[in-house]
Amino acid sequence: MTEIEVFTRLNKVFRKVFDDNSIVLSRNTTAKDIEDWDSIEHITLIGAVEKEFGMRFQMKEVSSMKNVGEMADIIRSRV
């Protein structure tokens, strides 16, 4: 799966979770860039991403991700 394909699918998930069609992700996107991205929504987001890609993040991966680019790299390494 290419990085573009991963980001296309991630964009869809983020827009749905945060109910915001204006979200456009980049590798550098962080929680600071999305208004409603708090710790509670983070749990919802991780679950939605796992479901979309049919995979599970390890707890250490979830806690160490610094941006959406790192999330995409983990996804690409698994699917």
pLDDT digits (tens, 9 = 90+) for 12-71: 999 999 999 999 999 999 999 999 999 999 999 999 999 999 999 999 999 999 999 999
Rounded Cα gap, residues 72 and 35, in angstroms = 21
pLDDT of residue 74: 96
* Sequence-separated (6 or more) residues with CB below 8 Å from residue 23: 11, 14, 15, 34
- Which tokens sit at 69? 């680019």
Nearest to 51 by CA among 21, 24, 12: 12
Whether 79 shows a pLDDT value over 90: the answer reads: no
Q: Which domains does the chain have, with CATH numbers?
A: 3-78 (1.10.1200.10)
